[in-house]
Amino acid sequence: MTEYLKTRVSSFDDLIEKGGIEAGNTVLVSGGCGVGKTVFTLQSLYNGALAGEKGMFISLSEDVEKIRANMINNFGWDLASLEEKGLLSLQKVDPFYLAEDVTSLIVNRQKRSSIDRSLFDGHDSLSLVDSRSVKMPFKPDRIVLDSVSTLEAAFTNKDHYRIYIQALVDSLNQHNSLNFLICESEQDPSLYSKTGIEEFLVDGVIVFYNLRKGQVRRRALEILKLRCSDHVKELVSYMITGEGIKIMPGEQVF
Ligand SMILES: Nc1ncnc2c1ncn2[C@@H]1O[C@H](COP(=O)(O)OP(=O)(O)OP(=O)(O)O)[C@@H](O)[C@H]1O
Ligand SMILES: [Mg+2]
């Protein structure tokens, strides 16, 4: 039987007919700076952990100590205590080291054979991001990578990034977890990633907009695609409050 995992972020799951996202799916969370991409995914991990579900947050840019401090100060989410209980794991990976490791793996294997999806055989999804320091302390129900844009910027050879991201999505999909890849875009994006390929590789795309009309900006999110279920198609208003993301279906954006 197909298993659907709730995001547990405000009323987000009510926007999805199946009430959650299929286990093993990878979803791109795209939007401009400050729209709440990190908050959305951490809210999902935090509420999941309170329900006994395990979550991994892999940061490729922000320092995890700073993330813990921001989350407790802004929203009262004590991530550290959930980490101590073995329900959460926040880890930082240097994107330049990762890009370097991936590049040398590709270059070495290219010498021997042609590049294909089996390039990373023998490396599971998390060892793809763990060649330096990510540890997998438990079998996670949710995995977040923040962000693939930082990773893309660390690759000098963009073809190597494309090979890697395809392999990463393939192997993440083999886990039975709900996986979020965060991606930076414009405030009112028409392109959801810099390379334009990520949105086609993943099973779902959630877009966060910071829309401007005259002197006013309003926040709205959209499920742009979700292969596993029917879903609300229009833009839905949301706010970031002292309790995190609050989704307001039925409220006009302007
Ligand atoms: N307690 C709070 N009440 C209301 N809004 C808050 C609160 N704390 C943070 N915010 C909002 O959350 C935003 C930060 O959200 P978040 O870090 O998730 O953005 P992001 O999309 O990940 O941005 P970036 O691309 O820069 O990483 C802040 O810009 C601020 O507007
Ligand atoms: Mg962020």
Reference 231, options 245, 244, 221; nearest CA is 221
Residue nearest to atom 14 of ligand 1 (CA): 34
> Could you say which ligand is closest to the alpha carbon of residue 43?
1
**Cis preceding linkage at 147, omega within 30:** yes
Q: What's the one-letter identity of residue 59? A: S
Q: Ligand 1 site: residues with CB under 6 angstroms?
A: 31, 33-39, 74, 184, 240-242
Ligand 1 centroid from CA 8, angstroms: 18
Ligand 1: nearest atom to the Cα of 208: 21
Taken as a whole, the chain contains a residue count of: 254
What is the per-residue pLDDT across 83-101, written as a single tens digit (0 to 9) for each? 999 999 999 988 998 898 8
Q: Which of 9, 10, 37, 246 to mutate to test the pocket of ligand 1 (most atoms within 8 A of CB)?
A: 37
Residue nearest to atom 8 of ligand 1 (CA): 74
What is the per-residue pLDDT across 143-190, written as a single tens digit (0 to 9) for each? 999 999 999 999 999 999 998 898 888 888 888 999 999 999 988 888
Within-domain flag for 98:
yes
| Distance from C-alpha of 117 to C-alpha of 164, rounded to nearest angstrom | 9
Ligand 1: nearest atom to the Cα of 39: 18
Query: What CATH code is carried by the domain that includes residue 177?
Result: 3.40.50.300
In this structure, is the dihedral angle defined by the CA atoms of residues 181, 183, 187 and 190, taken in order, positive or negative? negative
Ligand 1 centroid from CA 209, angstroms: 13
pLDDT class of 195 with cuts at 50, 70, 90 = confident
Residue 150 is predicted with a pLDDT of: 96
Residue 129 is predicted with a pLDDT of: 52
Whether this prediction's pTM lies above 0.85 is answered by yes
Within-domain flag for 227:
no
Within-domain flag for 237:
no
Residue 113 is predicted with a pLDDT of: 62
Q: Look over the chain and give the mean of its residue pLDDT values, rounded to a whole number.
A: 91
Residue 51 is predicted with a pLDDT of: 98
Residue nearest to atom 16 of ligand 1 (CA): 36
Ligand 1: nearest atom to the Cα of 40: 18
Ligand 2 centroid from CA 112, angstroms: 39
What is the per-residue pLDDT across 113-126, written as a single tens digit (0 to 9) for each? 655 555 565 555 45
Which domain, by its residues, includes 114? Answer: 4-9+18-214
Ligand 1 centroid from CA 36, angstroms: 5
Within-domain flag for 250:
no
Q: What's the one-letter identity of residue 231? A: H
Within-domain flag for 238:
no
pLDDT class of 136 with cuts at 50, 70, 90 = confident
Within-domain flag for 40:
yes
Within the chain, residue ranges assigned H as helices are 37-50, 64-75, 79-84, 95-112, 125-128, 148-154, 158-173, 198-201
- If you average pLDDT over residues 20-27, what whole number do you get? 97
Bridge partners, 213 (sequence order): 216
Q: Which of 187, 240, 246 to mutate to test the pocket of ligand 1 (most atoms within 8 A of CB)?
A: 240
- If you average pLDDT over residues 106-113, what whole number do you get? 76
pLDDT class of 102 with cuts at 50, 70, 90 = confident
Within-domain flag for 22:
yes
What is the per-residue pLDDT across 34-65, written as a single tens digit (0 to 9) for each? 999 999 999 999 999 999 999 999 999 999 99
Residue 72 is predicted with a pLDDT of: 98
Q: What are phi and psi of 97, to 5 degrees?
A: -65, -40
What is the per-residue pLDDT across 65-76, written as a single tens digit (0 to 9) for each? 999 999 999 999
Residue nearest to atom 6 of ligand 1 (CA): 240
Number of domains in the chain: 1
Within-domain flag for 78:
yes
Percent of the chain residues topping a pLDDT of 90: 72
Reference 182, options 44, 78, 28, 6; nearest CA is 28
Ligand 2 centroid from CA 39, angstroms: 7
